C-alpha cells in the first residue's frame, strides 16, 4: 500500500507514520519530494493488517491500495482464464455454454417440452427455478421440492445439466442434490453466509451481480466462494437498476469486458433479466458474445403469454432457435465453440 502525506508535513510526523507502518508488519520505504512525502508499505496485503486506518492520522492525505482486494479472483493470482468443468460441459477458456429454460418450473409437461426444445437447438444446460424470490408474497413462489424432482426428471430424459437458484443456507444441501450448478441470484449476491454454504457444497456456483452492486463488490462476493475452497465459480451479469424505464434493468455489457479484464473467472450474461423484454433478448445476446462472454443464460417458455412468472421477458421456441442461429457468426469471429 502507499501512504500519501500532506504537503509540508514535518519530519516528526513523517517518522510517526513510518513507525506505525512498521508496527503493522510492513517494511516502510519513504520517498521524499520537494514538498510532499509518500511512504510505500512493502508486504503482502493478504496477510497483514489493512493500512487504511492510517487515514485517521491528520498528516495522512490518503492511503492507496496496490494489490486487488479480490486477490483469488484477480488475474494477478491467475493470468490464464479459468475453465469450469460441469461434468463434461466446459465454461470459459474458449468454451461457450448456452443455458436455457423457463424462468419457473411450472409443470412436468412445460419443463420437459422446453428441455427437449432447447437441447435440440444446441443448449447444454437447462435453467429452471424451483424456488423463486418474488417481490410480492402473493406472486408464484415456485414448486419447491416438486420443482427439483421435475428438473431431475428432465436431466434423466435429456442429459442436460441443471442450473437452479438456491435462496437460503438451509436449502443448499437438497438443492445441490439435484443441481449441477447452484445459482445465487441478484437479491442474494451479498448474502455471505449463503455464499459460504454454497462454496462448501463443492458444486459449481453461478454468481449473479446484485441489482445495485458495483463491479468490485461483485468480484469480492466471488472471492468469498474462492476463499472457502470452491474454484468452480462463474460470474453472471444480469443488469443493474438505473433510472431508465424502457427496460426492466439496464444490462451492463461494459461490466462483462471489465470482469474479463480484471478476473480469470468465466463470465456469462443473462439478457432476459437484463432487459425484461423478449424483443431485445437476441440483440443483447449478440452483443454479449461479441464482447467475449463465456455463455448465456436465456429464459425460454413454450407459451410466454401463459407463464406464471416473467412471461414478458421469455422467448418461445421459434425465437430461441433464431437466437442460436444469430449468435453463430459472433462465436466464429471470437474463436469460441459451443
pLDDT in tens, 22-36: 998 888 988 888 889
Average the pLDDT over 277-299 and give the result.
97
pLDDT digit string, tens, across residues 77-97: 889 999 999 999 999 999 999
Task: State how far the Cα of 84 lies from the Cα of 202, in Å rounded to an integer.
Answer: 12
Q: What pLDDT does 52 receive?
A: 85
* Residue-range domain boundaries for the chain: 2-64, 84-333
Show the cell assigned to 300.
Answer: 425460454
Taking CA atoms, 190 is separated from 144, 187, 199, 212, in Å, by 23, 8, 14, 11
Which one is predicted more confidently, 338 or 285? 285
Q: What pLDDT does 132 receive?
A: 79
Q: Is the pLDDT of residue 40 over 90?
A: no
Average the pLDDT over 288-307 and give the result.
96
CA geometry: angle 258, 261, 263, nearest 5 deg: 100
Least confident of 18-22, 46-50, 274-278, 284-288: 46-50
Average the pLDDT over 70-79 and give the result.
88
Residues 30 and 39: beta-carbon distance below 8 Å: yes
Percent of the chain whose pLDDT exceeds 70: 98
pLDDT digit string, tens, across residues 141-179: 778 999 999 999 999 999 999 999 999 999 999 999 999
Task: State how far the Cα of 14 lies from the Cα of 3, in Å rounded to an integer.
Answer: 11
pLDDT-based confidence at residue 1 (cuts at 50, 70, 90): confident
Q: What pLDDT does 141 receive?
A: 77
Least confident of 61-75, 117-131, 215-229: 61-75
Query: 2-64 maps to which CATH number?
Result: 3.30.70.1140
Tell me the whole-structure pTM to 2 decimals: 0.86
Q: What pLDDT does 107 receive?
A: 95
Q: What pLDDT does 137 receive?
A: 79
Taking CA atoms, 19 is separated from 13, 37, 41, in Å, by 10, 15, 11
- The mean pLDDT of the chain is 93
Q: Is the pLDDT of residue 47 over 70?
A: no
The DSSP letter of residue 104 is B
Q: Is the pLDDT of residue 48 over 70?
A: no
pLDDT digit string, tens, across residues 223-266: 999 999 999 999 999 999 999 999 999 999 999 999 999 999 99
Q: Residue 280: count other Cβ atoms within 10 Å of its Cβ.
A: 17
Task: State how far the Cα of 223 lies from the Cα of 88, in Å rounded to an integer.
Answer: 25
Least confident of 42-56, 84-98, 316-330: 42-56
Hey, what CATH topology would domain 84-333 get? TIM Barrel (3.20.20)
Average the pLDDT over 213-219 and give the result.
96
Amino acid at each position: 500500500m502507499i501512504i500519501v502525506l500532506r504537503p509540508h508535513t514535518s519530519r516528526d510526523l513523517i517518522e510517526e507514520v513510518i513507525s506505525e507502518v512498521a508496527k503493522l508488519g510492513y517494511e516502510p520505504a519513504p520517498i521524499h519530494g520537494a514538498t510532499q512525502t509518500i511512504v510505500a508499505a512493502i508486504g503482502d496485503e493478504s496477510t497483514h493488517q489493512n493500512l487504511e486506518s492510517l487515514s485517521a492520522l491528520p498528516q495522512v492525505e490518503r492511503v492507496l491500495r496496490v494489490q486487488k482486494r479480490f486477490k483469488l479472483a484477480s488475474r494477478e493470482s491467475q493470468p490464464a482464464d479459468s475453465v469450469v468443468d460441469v461434468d463434461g460441459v466446459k465454461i470459459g477458456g474458449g468454451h461457450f455454454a448456452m443455458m436455457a429454460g423457463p424462468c419457473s418450473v411450472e409443470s412436468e409437461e412445460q419443463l420437459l417440452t422446453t428441455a427437449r426444445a432447447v437441447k435440440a437447438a444446441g443448449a447444454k444446460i437447462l435453467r429452471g427455478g424451483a424456488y423463486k424470490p418474488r417481490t410480492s408474497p402473493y406472486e408464484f413462489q415456485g414448486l419447491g421440492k416438486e420443482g427439483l424432482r421435475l428438473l431431475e426428471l428432465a436431466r434423466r430424459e435429456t442429459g442436460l445439466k441443471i442450473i437452479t437458484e438456491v435462496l437460503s443456507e438451509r436449502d443448499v444441501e437438497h438443492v445441490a442434490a439435484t443441481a449441477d450448478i447452484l445459482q445465487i441470484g441478484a437479491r442474494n449476491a451479498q448474502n455471505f453466509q449463503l455464499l459460504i454454504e454454497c462454496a462448501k457444497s463443492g458444486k459449481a456456483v453461478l454468481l449473479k451481480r446484485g441489482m445495485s452492486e458495483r463491479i468490485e463488490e461483485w468480484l469480492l462476493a466471488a472471492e468469498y466462494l474462492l476463499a472457502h475452497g470452491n474454484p468452480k465459480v462463474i460470474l453472471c451479469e444480469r443488469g443493474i437498476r438505473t433510472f431508465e424505464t424502457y427496460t426492466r434493468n439496464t444490462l451492463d455489457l461494459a461490466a462483462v469486458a471489465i470482469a474479463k479484464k480484471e478476473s480469470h473467472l468465466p463470465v456469462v450474461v443473462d439478457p432476459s433479466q437484463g432487459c425484461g423484454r423478449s424483443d431485445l433478448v437476441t440483440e443483447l445476446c449478440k452483443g454479449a458474445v461479441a464482447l467475449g462472454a463465456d455463455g448465456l443464460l436465456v429464459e425460454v417458455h413454450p407459451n410466454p403469454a401463459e407463464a406464471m412468472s416473467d412471461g414478458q421477458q421469455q422467448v418461445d421456441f421459434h425465437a430461441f432457435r433464431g437466437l442460436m442461429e444469430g449468435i453463430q457468426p459472433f462465436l466464429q469471429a471470437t474463436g469460441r465453440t459451443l
